[in-house]
Amino acid sequence: MRVRSFPLAFAPFVPRKLDARGYMGWGPEEYAAMRKPPERFPVILETVDHKPDHPTEKFRIEAAGGTVTMEDPPRLDGSLAVSRGLGDFEYKGDGQRLASEQKVSCVPDIYEISSLQPGSICVIGCDGIWDVLTAEEVAEYVREELSMEPPTDLGDVAAELLRLCLKKNSRDNMTCMILHLVDGSDWANFPDEMKNYEKLLDRGDQDEDVQTHYAAFLTTSQFPAQALSCDVCKRWLKQMNQCQCKQVFYCSRNCQKKGWKAHQKVCGAKGDGGGAKLKDGM
């Protein structure tokens, strides 16, 4: 299969070095901002959008025989709203020009950031986010979420950020990842959890292609095809515990104890101590 259009690419690289140096390279629709806490998040780096009307991009496009229409948003040859990408081969067919000189360049920008402090934040997102929020607004939003006790999961912060952009009527593609530049020990014992799995339960109106992608995501994440949610709190962890009656699952011993009063009436595998024994549900 030939990939005709694949415009997104971003690769942060933070080596474990004493000078806390980081490198970031990205293609067209990806945009990033580095921030550092705690009381406020000053933006210490913003990447430049690869839009056709940017002076550098516009010069290259026109030199390669292309045009930039000043619409909202500006478009390359009246079509593309970005000017760099890994696909879009119809804009890279000039055999007399280098890859970096084509209408659509596949060459990324690379920035080096030095003196990064532990706890710095990197927010990566494509243009649907930055169309409706500034880097400062994103920084403040992330700061407020991370200042809560207990700290909000970074995945939840990213998801809520996308919902905020939808409320602001963003109409472009949106993806988001938030990197917290720490050693990760605070989160080492947190189990993998599948959230918003409710979409998997009601498949009546889902397109077959959507269902296929959901199934592929579960497989890649090493979750079973069927949602095995906790009978008490409804969480779905990668490692679930199952009552020996094989009728219900629990995410923890605590939830099993909470649910036992109701479940014991129908449980067919009561233990000697009056409670169902648990076993791995995976």
Residue 278: beta bridge partners?
243
Question: Is the confidence at residue 2, as pLDDT, over 50?
Answer: no
- CATH architecture, range 10-187: 4-Layer Sandwich (3.60)
Specify the pLDDT at position 6.
44
Closest CA to 158 of 144, 172, 176: 176
- pLDDT at residue 90, rounded to an integer: 93
Distance CA(280)–CA(198), nearest Å, equals 22
Q: Which of 106-110, 120-124, 250-254, 269-273 has the highest mean pLDDT?
A: 250-254
Strand stretches in 212-261, DSSP E: 241-243, 249-250
On the question of pLDDT at 168 being above 80, the answer is: yes
**What's residue 10's pLDDT?**
59
Q: Does the pLDDT value for residue 38 go beyond 70?
A: no
Provide the residue ranges of all domains of the chain, joining segments of one domain with +: 10-187, 198-280
Helices 154-167 and 135-146: crossing angle in degrees, nearest 10, is: 140
pLDDT (average), residues 1-24 = 49
Between 60 and 49, the higher pLDDT residue: 60
> What's the chain's average pLDDT?
81
What is the Cα gyration radius of the chain?
24
**Confidence band (pLDDT; 50, 70, 90) for 24?**
low
pLDDT of residue 108: 87
List, in order, residues 6 or more apart from 88 with CB less than 8 Å away.
Answer: 4, 5, 7, 80, 104
22-31, 132-141, 204-213, 221-230: segment of lowest average pLDDT: 22-31
Residue type, 202: D
Whether residue 229 contacts residue 235, with contact meaning beta carbons closer than 8 Å, is answered with: yes
Mean pLDDT highest for which of 53-62, 113-122, 180-189, 259-268?
A: 53-62
